[in-house]
Each structure stands twice: as C-alpha cells, then as structure tokens.
Structure 1
C-alpha cells in the first residue's frame, strides 16, 4: 500500500490577494508612524497615558488633537483586526490546498512563535513599542481556543470581553471622579512618569535593557490583557469566515453602517480626550487615565470603521484598472511587516538619545512631518519591490522560517 504524501504547505503568492486588507494595511502604516513618533520626543515631559509633550505651541496642539481624535488607540486595533482576518485566510488556504486541520494549525502556531521572536528582537534593538510580539501572543492563544469554534461561540465571547472592557471603563471613570476631588499636588504628577524613558538613554546597552523591560509588560498587556486585541481578532475571525473583505459588494450595508457608526464614535470620544489634552476640561492631568478605558472602546469602534471604509473602497475599485495611489498602498500592504520594521530602522537611530538625538530638537508638528516622510520612503521601496515581483525582506524571512517546505 502506498501512503499519500501530505500536500505541501506553501505561502500565497503576491498575486491573487484580496484588495481591501492590503489597502488598509498600506494606509494604516502611515497612521502607525504618526502615532509612534511622539515617543521619540524624549526631552519633553509627557502625561501619564500619552507620549504627547505637555509643553506645546498652537501648531503642536493642533497636530496632537488630530492624532488623539483620529489615530491614537485607533491604529493597533485596526492592525489586530487585519491580523486576525489574515489568520483565517491562511488557515482556509491551507485546508483548501489539502492540509489537514492539525498541520494547518501547526503552521499557524509556528508562525506566531516566530512573530514573538521577531518582536523581541525588534524591541531589544530598536523599538520598545513593538506590536509583533503582542499579536503573536494573541494569535497563539486565540487560534488555540477559537479558530474552529462556531460563529455563535465567537459572538458570545466577543460580547463578554467587550462587556468586561466597558465595566473596566466605568470603574476608571468612577475612580477618576473620586481622585479629582483630591488636591492636585498630592497626586502623581505627569512629569514623574514618561513613555519616553528608553529613548532618553544615552547608552545603547542600557537602552536595550530598558526597551526589553518595557516590551515584556507591553506584549501581554496589549496582546491579551487589555482585551481590545482579542475582541478585534474574534470579530475578524467572524468577518473572514463570511469573506466580508474579499467580497465587500455582498456586505455593502454592513460595511457602511460600521464605517459611519465606528468612526463617529471614535472621533467623538477622541475629541473629548483631545480637549483634556489641551487643558480645556479643568480635570487634573494626573487623572488622564480616567479616559483610558472609554477611549480604548472608542478606538476599537473607530478601527473597525476604518477597516469598513477600505472594504467599501475595495468594492468600488476592484473591477477598475489599478491606480497609482491604490497600487502603492497595496504594494505597502503586501509588505507591511517590512515597512513596519523599516520605520524603526529610520526613527530609532535618528531620534533616540543613544543615536543622533534629533528627537530632542523636534516638537509634535515637526516629528509628524518626519513620520510622513518615513512612510513615503517605505512606499517608494515597496513599489520598487512590487515592480520587481519580490517580497519584502521580513516577509521572506518569516515565510522561510514558518513554512517547512520553504526551508
């Protein structure tokens, strides 16, 4: 008797991809660059829950307000949703290619472990706010628990986790209201804690230790314990099962409702947080965290709204010739891991105190321009790779490590 060899496990090529996820990833990386940039303003005091400097000019306040309303806490849930969507796409492709359930899940598990490894190296060498480790950890847990569960189970758990996050938001609001009655000089001042610490280290070795220490708490917090990422991934599992982004024309009404409702919710709450950042609410800055929970919920809603917008855009352009803008965004989206890491390669040695230290001489508006310029650089590189028919180097490395047939 001859034994049938298992079907080879190979990654998807650069063609034949869904348009909407790549469009969303390409644009999202611009938002990530802008969101991460203020952390490099290491010579300025910042509040407890934000990297935006306390001392700011009118131009700085405008840029900060736009970022708080439309970008901060809105980008990483969007990335988490797209990551979860990609898990189901990869799993489905492997099953359709002939891989059994155990082999397909083993591939995902191996891929997520390598993401954690990539994240640890990224955090240690360059960027303490790395999200690869967080998503790899979330992928390991949620794939194990929920990948093959029924839709109803996913809905129930997404609802439960959202309810828990909402309750935590209420507790934060109540606690903040109580603390607001205490004399401000007895509270922990915003200048006594800063997200800028690792970037302010002048010794590179010390900065590596500081970054890894920060990342060791951030990865599980952002990936699992903060609840936003698991909720986004569970919702992505549901959406991917029904091919919402591959077939957006079939889900036009849903996408339109999510886009309008999610963005309206996110921007409305963001406007309140921006007003607090500008000192317009009369609430002590030491209790800024009172808005943390509700802003996290609003950020999740806004992120889903952004994804829905790109689904609607994909439905509009899918049968049309690829334009320069959509083609460039898709090129970046196909190489989102490489472009994400490239941002740190530019920012960390340029801005940090252990490098050229340029971050000490910039402010909110000027570093935002640097972020946009950095993203544009990655766009150019991605387009050149697209024309050459080549993957990004990080995508190549991850596939080489994760797929057994590639080694």
Structure 2
C-alpha cells in the first residue's frame, strides 16, 4: 500500500493520533496471536489498567463504567449480530448463523420472531443487520441485511402478530465474500436508510463508484437512491471504505462510522456526503494526500477491530471492539474529538459485536464469543450498560 502523509483539516489535526502499533491477522475478526507482537514505547501505556493519556497521545487503557454496573438482559444466544429497538422498548436481535430474528424485552424475555430463507452463513456472512422503520408504528416495516448465494442484499419485511411477513429484496448487487461483507444498516435522522458495505476482499471495489462494495449507501425504504445523494441517481453516499460495520449519529446530526483496518489502523470516521475515505490507498491517518478524509480516531487492530457503534445519552460515541474485547468511549463535540478515547470493560465480556442506545438511556451491547473467541457460561448475551 502506498505510504504518504495525509494532510488534515486544521480542526482535526490536533491530537488525532492514538499511538498504538501492532499487526493484524489476515481476517480482522481473527483472534489475537498467542504470542504478543513487539510494541512501541507509546503503546506501553495501553498495557496498564491504570494508564492515563501521555504527551505522545497514548489512550487511557481502561476505566470503570459510570452510573452503575452492567447486567445481563438475556443469555444463551448463538452468534448474535445486530440489535434494533421497537417503539415499545423491546428489541429485535439477529442470529447470524441460524438466520433467525428474536425479540427481547427489557425484562429479559425472549421469543422467536421468524427465520429468513436463502441465507448463506459461510465465512463472516449470514443474517447481519436489522433496522426498524421510523414509521414502524404505522407500517410495521423492518429491514434486514443478509448474505445470499448471489451476494449481499437488503430485504424489506413487516413484523406481524405471527412473525415476519413476506421478504422483499429492495437492494441487491452488494458483493459478498468469506469476509468484508459489511452488514450494518441504520435509519438516519433525515429519514433515509444507510447501508454499510465491505469490499468483499477486492480492495479496488472501494474506489469504483459503480460498485456497491466498500461504500456507505443511502436509500429509501424501497431501496431507491435517496434524493440529494452526491453522485446523482446512485445509492452511494461515501466511498473508499474497507469494511463498515458501525453507523450512528450525534445529537447535531453528525454521522459516524467505524472502519476495519487491514494491517495497522482501525478507524472512527465522520461521514460527509461524497467523502472518499481512502481505502485501499490509505489506512488510518497516514497516506493518500488531500483527496481523502482523515479519521477522527484510530486504534491498532489488536486493540479494536471495531463493529457496531452508538451515541450514548452523554453524547459520546461508543465503539464495540471484537479483537480488542472492549467498549471504547470517544468524547466528541460535533465532528471533533475531545480528548483521548477511554477503554471500558476490557476483557470482561470478550468480543463485543454491537452496541446501541436504548430508549431508557442505557446501552445494550452484544457479545460475540460463540463464533470466534472463548465462550463463557451464558454466551452469547445481551448486556445492559448504564451510562452516566
């Protein structure tokens, strides 16, 4: 990969680099190597549970969760991947390999909603994202992101008294592979559905505006390109992504996305319409020149491998880390980062796949130890995390 320095806008230039160095496995979800790789002096602060930010920009390694202790909502889930809330406070959770959707109440009651036919759960594919329509109270619409034999796609269905209704493909042609399938879908504050995709193991797709891989897409409920997209009659909202698995919005409408890196850096990005985020020419803050948008935070792939993200009641961005086995908190002020990220729940729950903001102001997060990792009694689980 070419190596040249990316020029940053002045408002983002100060304090962006988190100086952690490490190597990644061929797949971003692979477990960390049993023998630690050499680290730089600046990353040594991350090894201490009591570490504090240093002048070199090393992050706080760990901190307690404020305002109470995390607690299980439900346990015994098999490879849960995504969670989305219904208007009544219950949540829908997708089970990737079983291709099933389950409903979970805040009191921990679980019920099956239905199975999705035609799902290919090979590699890192399967039944992935779920999004509940902002007009669900009147239309009952739910969207799902699935891997099929012919590629990744977005389905539209309804949640009815007896389960899921008819499945209608509304967006097809998203490339699939054994990894880098993207899969996160979320409704934006503008009333349109955003879809995070991966490059499906072919990096050049990310820079090809005619290919849906390695992009964030913006569509209507029927799968059509949303009005106002930056490239005319195209669903593409942003490009140059490697594997997007987290989407969230701040109170002011700022859009954030998490990005799996390859060999060095994972990213938290602020997403702008038409923005090019550099892959495969750039990874992290280094490389690519002025044409690419720089991340507002980066982590070594051992410390993150980020999946879902959420904006908490405190306004901070929370990032679920798979290989990093943590929940990272990133304080923000609009599109700017404030201070260094803080590492929460380090190795307490293992790999964390998703995190979402619940109606009661807490966070719900999904563990991901039954796919890779070391399952613990009760895994996998939904965990309620107080935020204060």
Answer yes or no: same fold by TM over 0.5.
Answer: no
TM-score by length of 1: 0.27
Q: Whose helix proportion is higher, 1 or 2?
A: 1
Where is the strand percentage greater, Structure 1 or Structure 2? 2
